Structure formats: C-alpha cells, structure tokens
A and B are shown apart, each in its own frame.
Chain A
Amino acid sequence: MLAIEFFTPWELSPILVVFLLGLAFYYWQAMCVTAKGEKSAKYYWQVVSFYTGIVSIYLVSHTYLDYLSQYMFWVHRFQHLVLHHLAPLLIVLGGVGIIHKSLPEWLKNWKGLPAVVRLPFELSYKLIQHPIVAPVVFVGLIYLWLIPDIHFTAMLSQDLYYLMNWSMLLDGLLFWWLVLGPDWRGEAKGFAVRLIMLIVVVVPQQLLGAYLTLSGEVIYDVYEVCGRAWPVSPMVDQIYGGVITWIPASMMSVLGLVLVLRRRLNYQKREENEGI
C-alpha cells in the first residue's frame, strides 16, 4: 500500500481536522508562553507526549485505519483503545501545567462571568467529574457502544459512528484529566480517590474483554452484514478484539496507577525537603 493511500481520509471530517489543528496550535502557543516564563526548564517530553496523542487520534480516525475500524472488529477495538485510553492519557500528560498558560482572558476570569452563564457549565462539569460518576461513565460508554444492537446501528449509520468515536475521545480526555490533571497536587486524599478510580475501571473492562475473547459464539454480526476488510474467521476477529479490550486497556490503568504513585512520591519528597 502506498503512503498516500494510507493517509487519504476514508471519510473526510473537517470538524476533526479543525479540532486537532486547533488543539495543536493552542498547545504551541501555551508552550511558548511557558518557555518564556521559565527559560532554564526543558519541556521535551511534554511536547512529544502531547503531539503523539494528537497524531495518534488523527491516525486512527482519519486514515486507512478508520476504514479498517469500520470493517474489522479488532481494529475497531484498537481504535477505541487509542481514542479512549492512549491518546487522551498522552495529551493530558503533555498538557498538565502548560495548557492553562494561554487561556483567553474571559476564561481566565471565569469566576467573573455572570452565574447564569457559569453555573450550568460548572455544575455539569462537577457532575461528570464526580469521583463516582466519572468511572461509571468511563466504563459505561465502553459497554454501551458494545451492546450488540447499539453496536450494529452505530456501525451502519455514519452519524452514530461519529457520535460513538467523539463520545469516546471526549470522555477519555475528561477521565484522564480527572485522574492526572492539575487539580490534585499529590496530597493523600486525592491520591486514594485516584487510585480507587483507576482500579475500579479495570475490573469491568477485564470482564468484558474476557467475555468477548472466551465467548464461543459470534456476538457482533454487523461485520458479517457489512463485510470484513479481508477474509478472516469471525471468531478470530472477535478473539483479537476481546484480547485488545482485555489486556492493553487494563494495562493503561496500570500505567495510570504508576503515574499517580510517582506523583504522590514526588510530592512527599518535596514535602520532606521543605520540612527539613
């Protein structure tokens, strides 16, 4: 396959392109402001992490991989692994401590906005980012889009397909922002809540992955209906998809745990040093 064939969008989505370019441009601006403020500091890994996240969203949503995701169950699972886990995690890691630097003035003075405008946003954000609601929504969305009837319709209707992928991406960004975002500096209370959230989301994902992998029958007939990208046994396709849902998805939570632990340790060290 030629590179041009791979990179040609299967279905052109101007919204996605504008969204990703906007994010990339905004981050660049924020990085410039950050670098100006602290000239001695280096931010290489944050930049690499953020842009890898952006590029990986583009690759799974706007290239030949998007085509494969619509016609191969396991590629679809891989696409969601990137959209819901990997890319948001990378973006959050690269963005923490940097992206607020270039916020527009009206957003910096958020508290100064009239309550009528402010409250609906604040309340819905608080609700969706509640430590009980967020993990439920995170796992709930994975389950929702994998209910056979809903999965069938989402794969058959272009609009629902877009809604499915956008909901996964936005929820991924929200969840990883909650777990690794700047609101928590490493103090004990936030530490426990974050660890519990990461552990809580692992088990249902593993159960689902195990069910898909070990189920003796083909659960998603939409790939029979629409055809597969190349000849492969439906069971093999489903087993690969199940394994992707089962193992790498849970490993992402383990990675999240390591990152949370690391931050907690760094915070403790700093506290000790300051104490001395």
Chain B
Amino acid sequence: MKVFKGLSVLMISVLLIACAESEPTKLTNIKGLIPDLEFELSDENNKLVTAKGYLGSTVAVFFGFTSCPDICPTTMHQFASILKRVGEPAKSVKVLFVSVDPKRDSAEKLKKYTEIFGPAFIGLRGEDSTIKEMTKRYRVTFGYGDEDKEGNYEVSHSGAMFIFDVRGKARLLVTQGSSPENIVMDLHALLEETI
C-alpha cells in the first residue's frame, strides 16, 4: 500500500510536468485528456448526424440552451467574432451548439437561434438520455432548477467550448476566462496544424 502511495505522488508530478510541457498552447490543451468526438444526434433540420460526418472539419462543441440569458449568447457572439478575426482558414470550422434543454429547444428554435451567429453554427438535439451520455463522455453535466409559475426554470450547464481537430481528436478547451486573443492565436495554429 505504501509503495502505491509513494508511486502515486511521483506519478502525479510526472503527469503534471508532462501535461505542462506537451505543446505550447495559450488555451488549456486537452489532447489525450478528453475522448475523441463521438455522437449521434439530430440537427436543426431534424436530420440524423454523427461525429463521423464532421471529420475533416475543425469542430467546436458547446453545451447550452436557447433560453440561456447570459453565458450561451455571450460565448456564441464572442466565438462568431473570433471566427471573423481568424478569417479565411476559419471557414472550415463548425460550431456545434448541443442543447441541454431539448424539452424547450425544438429544432426550429435551434435553427433560428444559430442563424443569428452565422452559417458555421449548427444546433443539435437529442433525447435526454443521449445528451446525458454525451455530456458524461466529455465530463460535463447539466441540471434543472425548479419551475416558476410561467413554467420557466434555470439550467446549470458547462460554460466551456471543446475544440476538436479535423481527425476528431480533442485539442483545446475554451473557458469563460479565455481571452479572445488567445483563442484566435490557438485556433489559427490548430487550423494551420502548427500545434
């Protein structure tokens, strides 16, 4: 047991040093930490889509809901302007907005919502259990607050955006605290495959 303990401490140090020195990204590098892109959901046109269909594109995944008052619209607007700043290479980027509130987010509602941000943004939805499975895969979660008289309720959800490369490998994590400059720089590098 004691050997295991001693080894654990050593392993943590080694792992952390390895993480810190792997690749020079400004954002959190999640290569190897998070599993590859995988899902089977329906898109905003009610078509069944899978992760394989997006291979070849750099994909950003965000778990949100259209009635979200703050984090979702802010993040989407910020990312839309980042794609503009990256310019031509960003044309191959797809932003998948996965609804964690499929009860209220119909396909039509999702479509109207993502249209505001541009053609790169695609709304996805699925059964509650499918979404739960997908969020679990990426170690994120969501939960619902109590309904008020009008039937509205709060939703707790991840504020992060996971960026996958053209091969569907997890690469970067954009958090609420990430600066736009860093996102632009790393996204650029990822698109040009220099990181």
Contact = CB atoms under 8 A, between A and B. Distances in A.
Interface of A: 67, 70-71, 120-121, 124-125, 127-129, 137, 141, 144, 149-150, 152-153, 155-158, 160, 163, 166-167, 170-171, 173-174, 221, 224-232
Contacts of B12: 144, 150, 160, 163, 167
Interface of B: 1-6, 8-9, 11-12, 15-16, 19, 28, 30, 33-34, 63, 135, 139-145, 154-160, 173, 175-177
A171 B30 CA distance: 29
B80 to A, nearest CB: 21
16 contacts: A120-B3, A124-B2, A128-B5, A129-B2, A141-B9, A152-B28, A156-B30, A156-B33, A166-B4, A170-B4, A174-B5, A226-B139, A227-B135, A227-B158, A231-B155, A232-B156
A224 B140 CA distance: 9
Given A124-B6, A167-B5, A230 B173 contact: no
B159 A231 contact: no
B2 A125 contact: yes
A181 to B, nearest CB: 13
A153 B159 CA distance: 16
Contacts of A141: 9
B157 A227 contact: yes
Contacts of B177: 221
Contacts of B3: 120-121, 124
Nearest to B174: A225
A224 B145 contact: no
Nearest to A177: B1
Contacts of A224: 158-160, 175-176
Contacts of B16: 149-150, 153
A227 B140 CA distance: 6
Contacts, number: 105
Nearest to B142: A227
A231 B65 CA distance: 14
Given A129-B2, A224-B176, A230 B33 contact: no
B11 A163 contact: yes
Contacts of B143: 71, 227-231
A231 B1 contact: no
Contacts of A170: 1, 4-5, 8
Given A226-B140, A230-B143, A230-B145, A167 B154 contact: no
A67 B132 CA distance: 12
A93 B115 CA distance: 63
Contacts of A70: 139, 141
Contacts of B160: 224-226
Contacts of A120: 3
Contact of A221 (B33, B144, B156, B175): B175
A83 to B, nearest CB: 14
Nearest to A157: B33
Contacts of A160: 12, 15
Contacts of A225: 140, 158-160, 173, 175-176
A157 B12 CA distance: 12
A248 B91 CA distance: 54
Contacts of A144: 12
Given A70-B139, A124-B2, A231-B154, 15 more contacts: A124-B3, A128-B2, A137-B9, A155-B139, A160-B15, A173-B1, A226-B158, A227-B157, A227-B158, A228-B141, A228-B156, A230-B144, A230-B145, A231-B143, A232-B156
